[in-house]
Amino acid sequence: MGAWCLLDAILQAVCLEKRYRSGDSELVIFSDLNLAVARGERLALVGESGAGKSTLLHLLGGLDRPSKGAIYFGQNDICQLSPEALAEFRNRELGFVWQIHSLLAEFSALENVMMPLLIRGMRREEAESVSLARLDEVGLRNRAAHRAGELSGGEQQRVVLARALVANPAVLLADEPTGSLDFRTGGMIMDLLEDLHRSRRLTSIHVTHNLAFARRADRILKLEHGRLTEAAASSDGL
């Protein structure tokens, strides 16, 4: 049994391949890639720019489909889901945090957090109550009525985190969550991500170039030349 295969895996990629056509040629991002993430694990994914980390995260999150292979959430291969079923899966099981906050500028912090619940069909009053609780959890209840442009970068990222968690996902996927923040603010977001991972018993996968952040994870995987290898937290090769 390979090291990538875990009995308690919540998420597994099996023989994953992703390639893009560029003119008359094909660009292979990775091929025959295997990955298993244990339930409750906090995994850091590192590697050079262009190595395919974000591509892999998008595949795991059902935002893109692989050229070959399977991605299992529990016992179900999400690659076999219809677009509608995949969208519902993302809404119910996954939370996303991106480097660029992607908040809707014309809406308040509260309205941004409410969006996944409203898409699900929850009554507005209930969605508002749940969303206020999530904003309180990230320390922003008193900023609920403020629009995105009225918030600092760190506050915007906390709103994104509240939105990612509002539907009680099992898995949190974060792509460079501190990449656009200054050192102090990034450290605060790292602390918050760690606290929420623990208190909410999440499974978390973080793509990051921040080595201090990566070293706080349970496990570090490095994506290089289309292959995943485990890296020690003390390694200078990160």
pLDDT, tens digit, for every residue of 7-54? 579 999 999 999 998 788 888 999 999 999 999 999 999 999 889 999
Report which DSSP code applies to 147.
Answer: B
Distance CA(18)–CA(8), nearest Å, equals 26
Say which residue the tokens 């200078």 belong to.
236
Q: Give this prediction's pTM.
A: 0.90
Residues 171-222: pLDDT tens digits? Answer: 999 999 888 788 888 888 899 999 999 999 999 999 998 888 899 999 999 9
Percent of the chain with pLDDT over 90: 75
Q: What 3-state DSSP class applies to 1?
A: coil
Q: Measure the CA–CA gap between 96 and 74, rounded to whole angstroms.
A: 19
What single-letter amino acid sits at 120? R
**CB-based contacts of 153, cutoff 8 Å, min separation 6:** 101, 180, 181, 182, 185
Between 232 and 224, where is the model more confident? 224
Structure tokens at 181: 């923040």
* Domains of the chain and CATH, by start: 9-228 (3.40.50.300)
C-alpha dihedral (55, 56, 60, 65), degrees to nearest 10: 50
What is the pLDDT confidence band of residue 156, given thresholds at 50, 70 and 90? very high
